[in-house]
A and B are shown apart, each in its own frame.
Chain A
Amino acid sequence: MMKVSCIYLVVGLSAVVAQTTILRLPLFHGIFYDLLIPLVVFLSLNLPNREGIFVVVILGLIMDLISGGIFGLYLSIYFWIFLWVKSLTKFFDVGDTLFQSVLIGVCVLAQHLIFCISLSVPWAEAQSLTVQMTPVLSQTIIAALTGPVILLLLGRLLTRLQRLSGVTRETGDTAIR
């Protein structure tokens, strides 16, 4: 299972590199959301707690290191998303595409709101934030539309990895295959 964690770590790192270089070009301005969110949701839905948290913490730390925000912000966001989604698996059918779509959209929106709050802008200057809030809606919609596709692709990757290693998952929380 460590091998699976490492593979998802590599996938996450590739996403980090992509979203700090190619996806930050003016061409893609305001379109792409944080691609690690679908990955964190996927890990929460499909990996046991220990492996999932390991990957989430490493990715969160890396994002914090390369970001100009408060250290620990990404780590906290990913960690709480992981736990929140994990708790949802007990109450909802997480395999439903519509549910996944809403879930990822909500996570992206929540991340933006936390970033916005972390800036601790005085109320008098809050108007200037509206400029930055404009892409939030579009990113949330795009996340809701593309999130389930990313989850599906990650699920395929997991199935292939399990086939290669001959591991059969028995955990009941496996939602995406």
Chain B
Amino acid sequence: MFSKKLARILCVVLFALISIVLLSISAKHPHRYTIVDRVAMAGIVPFQDGVSRTMHFCARMWHHYFYLVSVREEYDRLKGMLAKAEMEKSWSLESELACRRLRKLLEMKSELPYRMVPASVVGLDPSGWFKTVFINRGTEDGISKGMAVITSDGVVGRVIGASGRYAKVLLIIDRSSAVDALVQRTRSRGIIEGETSESCRFKYVVRKADIKIEDTVISSGLDGLFPKGLRVGAISEISRPSSGLFQEVKVRPFVDFTRLEEVLVVLE
């Protein structure tokens, strides 16, 4: 009755109408959640989830592991920069500390009426039994045997030998060292002799001399080596034996000989 062509056209029209009707019904009830939707969701979403997780996993793998090659390079670069910055910081701190020490020495140099040469300690005695240091100034700088060596803290020692550019200094804490000294408060005299790296003996202080713990001991200038009035140390221990003419006194030097870096050599 109908030709094949007409039947096809009718089918298309029918489908179009059905679609329009269904769309109209659907538009009338938007967001309707039917059992079909649930089934569809239950069937599809797990797969979506799986694929999605796999993709995320791959992306994470890429970014956190494979991509880390470049991150590692950046890390190394940053680490290098940090180390450099740390070194610069340390260097700057060291410069600041050196600057402070040198400023103190400079102030002292301008205050004292002596001609002085600054020097750096470049070496120490090879044995712990003898207390000497080497400084980087010698006869070329006017240094000669017997000259006094001081810091802003006090007396360091005296030059016992000098070459062209270096000199050897015997510290006051050496047992063979001696400094004529007096107690600043009472003017009691004695001789400072080395004992250990932390203390000196203040010998030949007469029994009747009035001295107290923490009294400051200064150089008397009578030995012809150390200028008068330079700080040597503070009295740390006094004992008066039952017999004898003198007291036994120990003095703690003001100079920290373990941290000796810059010194001044008194030329006159």
**Smallest Cβ-Cβ distance to B193: which chain A residue:** A125
Q: In the bound complex, do residue B128 and residue A67 qualify as a contact, i.e. CB atoms below 8 Å apart?
A: no
Q: In the bound complex, do residue B195 and residue A67 qualify as a contact, i.e. CB atoms below 8 Å apart?
A: no
Interface string of B104-123 (1 = CB under 8 A from A): 00000000000000000011
Give Cα A42–Cα B133 distance, bound, in whole angstroms: 29
Give Cα A121–Cα B261 distance, bound, in whole angstroms: 29
A-B contact pairs, 30 of them (CB 8 A): A19-B126, A20-B123, A20-B124, A20-B126, A20-B134, A24-B123, A24-B126, A26-B258, A26-B259, A30-B128, A34-B127, A63-B126, A66-B123, A66-B168, A67-B132, A68-B131, A68-B132, A68-B160, A69-B130, A112-B129, A115-B130, A119-B129, A121-B175, A125-B201, A128-B195, A131-B198, A132-B128, A132-B129, A132-B196, A135-B128
**Smallest Cβ-Cβ distance to B125: which chain A residue:** A68
B262 at interface (Cβ–Cβ under 8 A)?
A: no
Q: In the bound complex, do residue B126 and residue A66 qualify as a contact, i.e. CB atoms below 8 Å apart?
A: yes
Q: In the bound complex, do residue A67 and residue B127 qualify as a contact, i.e. CB atoms below 8 Å apart?
A: yes
Chain B residues near A135 (CB-CB < 8 A): 128
Chain A residues near B170 (CB-CB < 8 A): 68
Chain A residues near B258 (CB-CB < 8 A): 26, 29
Q: In the bound complex, do residue B196 and residue A67 qualify as a contact, i.e. CB atoms below 8 Å apart?
A: no
Q: In the bound complex, do residue A68 and residue B130 qualify as a contact, i.e. CB atoms below 8 Å apart?
A: yes
B153 at interface (Cβ–Cβ under 8 A)?
A: no
Chain B residues near A67 (CB-CB < 8 A): 125-127, 130, 132
Count of chain A residues with a beta carbon within 8 Å of a chain B beta carbon? 25
* Total A-B Cβ pairs within 8 A: 62
Interface set, chain A 123-177, CB cutoff 8 A to B: 125, 128, 131-132, 135
A16 at interface (Cβ–Cβ under 8 A)?
A: yes
Known contacts A67-B132, A68-B132, A119-B175; is-contact A21 B126 (Cβ 8 Å): no
Residue among B129, B131, B160, B195 facing the most chain A CB atoms (10 A cut-off) = B129
Chain B residues near A26 (CB-CB < 8 A): 258-259
Where the two chains meet, the residues of A that have a C-beta atom closer than 8 Å to any C-beta of B are 16, 19-21, 24, 26, 29-30, 34, 63, 66-69, 112, 115-116, 118-119, 121, 125, 128, 131-132, 135
Interface set, chain B 127-149, CB cutoff 8 A to A: 127-132, 134
Give Cα A132–Cα B175 distance, bound, in whole angstroms: 12
Give Cα A112–Cα B176 distance, bound, in whole angstroms: 18
**Smallest Cβ-Cβ distance to A66: which chain B residue:** B126
B170 to chain A, nearest CB (A): 6
B215 at interface (Cβ–Cβ under 8 A)?
A: no
Where the two chains meet, the residues of B that have a C-beta atom closer than 8 Å to any C-beta of A are 122-132, 134, 160, 168, 170, 174-176, 195-196, 198, 201, 258-259
A82 to chain B, nearest CB (A): 18
**Smallest Cβ-Cβ distance to B129: which chain A residue:** A115
Chain B residues near A131 (CB-CB < 8 A): 196, 198
Q: In the bound complex, do residue A69 and residue B127 qualify as a contact, i.e. CB atoms below 8 Å apart?
A: yes
Chain A residues near B259 (CB-CB < 8 A): 26
Give Cα A63–Cα B130 distance, bound, in whole angstroms: 12
Q: In the bound complex, do residue A34 and residue B126 qualify as a contact, i.e. CB atoms below 8 Å apart?
A: yes
**Smallest Cβ-Cβ distance to B133: which chain A residue:** A68
Give Cα A118–Cα B130 distance, bound, in whole angstroms: 10
B131 to chain A, nearest CB (A): 6
Chain B residues near A21 (CB-CB < 8 A): 122-124
Residue among B122, B127, B131, B201 facing the most chain A CB atoms (10 A cut-off) = B127
Give Cα A87–Cα B195 distance, bound, in whole angstroms: 38
